[in-house]
Amino acid sequence: MQPDTVLITGGGHTRFGAHSQRDQVTGDRSDSYPLEQMLADATEEALMEAGLEASAIDSVFVGSCSPGAFAQQELLGPLVLQQQPGLRFKAVHQSTAACASSSMALHAAADALQSGRIRTALVLGIEKMTLLSTPAVTEILGRCSYWPEESARDITFPGLFARLGDSYRQRHGISTERYREMLATVAAMNYRRGIHNPLAQFGPGSLPQTAGLLSAQAILDLPQEKNPVIAAPLHLHDCSPISDGAVALVLVRADSGLKDATSVALRGRAISTDYLPLSRRPALHKLEGAYDSASRAYRESGITQADLDLVEVHDCFTSNQLLCIEALGLSDEGCAGEDYLAGEYGEDARCQINLSGGLKSKGHPVGATGASMHYFAYRQLIGRPVGTAHPGNPELAAVLNIGGSGVVNCTTVLQAV
């Protein structure tokens, strides 16, 4: 291991969910899990697992999408000082990259660690979305698209991802019926994993379990009012929910002397950025930036997709899970849906996809999502899985987290130490 290898040595993760309640009479919202408390809980848990005091952390890297608009609190890093005064006067960075915000924070932390200027870093991902109504959340998220052509014309994120999904379907000559089956298969698989994940919004005892939505057929059989079209071809059960949540990870350099028996190394990583407007992209049936970031991360790691034991991919919509699997090279172009229908990604597959339940089950507090994906991969690799466990002894994982409509594409390859 190189001296500048970056290791994850601790993680903390709040339960994801809708932690605000709306009063049915007044419409007022109350908040049972404020931003500050979520940050404090995730931080404390991660520091404890890493066996470090806050004062041993050299710099903090926070990722969040739109905390000013969602929760009136734009600066988040400094909030952590209030419960961890040992962090006072440390450098705090804050990254924003839509739904890839905390992967970007993790990459920035890794850069700083590899520069040799710091030995330890705390990476935080957070979003508090449920204080607002769904239309307000949709409007705020829309600012992460290209305003003049997209959000200004009332094209929402479900609409943008629907367009990517439909381009894929048409390109590969998939019938609308068959495509719906593919997406329902993905949703059901993610629900089946999520119901074992106590940190998931759709965790044990939640709707997918109580309503029996654990097979594709059960989802396809739902009446229209229980699974309405959000943006054709995407239905409600193709969409990840609106959520609150926070995640913390402790990162250290390999030569810091702080590695322990349960560390995970970042073997390779890359961020690749694509055009913001869909209108500028040469191809809409695949995520070209995600392909690029995956191939660069593999190259740095010296691995191929065939070496992977598990991946966490960005299923903000079920359609995007198919695009991510192809970008990672796990399925050939145009084949991910068929591979799902053929059972290639079942319980005994070599490479397990979204054992956490994915964004579909976990929830999608956008700024926390990237750190969460890394957290669940890390827990599998150290042999302390949360929720559904990998059937073997996984050693290599990849995370593909995406911000915007395939705009900011972050791939990380993780390896058990």
Q: Which residues in the 2-21 window bind its own copies by CB under 8 A?
A: 4
C-alpha distances (whole Å) from 5 to each of 8, 297, 372 are 10, 14, 21
User: Of these, 18, 171, 259, 275, which contacts its own copies (CB under 8 A)?
Assistant: 275
Q: Which residues in the 302-331 window bind its own copies by CB under 8 A?
A: none
User: Of these, 91, 207, 214, 341, which contacts its own copies (CB under 8 A)?
Assistant: 91
**Residue 276 binds its own copies, judged by CB under 8 A:** yes
**Residue 245 binds its own copies, judged by CB under 8 A:** no
User: Of these, 7, 50, 87, 164, which contacts its own copies (CB under 8 A)?
Assistant: 87
Question: From residue 53 to residue 72, what is the string marking binding to its own copies with x (rule CB under 8 A)?
Answer: ------xx----xx-xx-xx
**Residue 144 binds its own copies, judged by CB under 8 A:** yes
User: Of these, 403, 412, 414, 416, which contacts its own copies (CB under 8 A)?
Assistant: 403
User: Of these, 203, 241, 289, 357, which contacts its own copies (CB under 8 A)?
Assistant: 289
- Whichever of 91 and 335 has its CB closer to its own copies, that residue is 91
Tell me if 349 sits within 8 A of 359, measured CB to CB: no
The distance from CA 405 to its chain's CA centroid, rounded to whole angstroms, is: 14
Site size toward its own copies (CB under 8 A) is 62
C-alpha distances (whole Å) from 324 to each of 92, 116, 242, 318, 402 are 31, 33, 21, 10, 9
User: Of these, 29, 280, 299, 384, which contacts its own copies (CB under 8 A)?
Assistant: 280
- Whichever of 113 and 264 has its CB closer to its own copies, that residue is 113
Question: From residue 103 to residue 122, what is the string marking binding to its own copies with x (rule CB under 8 A)?
Answer: -x--xx--xxxxxxx-----
Site for its own copies, rule CB under 8 A: 4, 59-60, 65-66, 68-69, 71-75, 77-79, 81-82, 87-98, 104, 107-108, 111-117, 140, 143-144, 146-147, 151-152, 270-277, 280, 288-289, 292, 403-404, 407-408
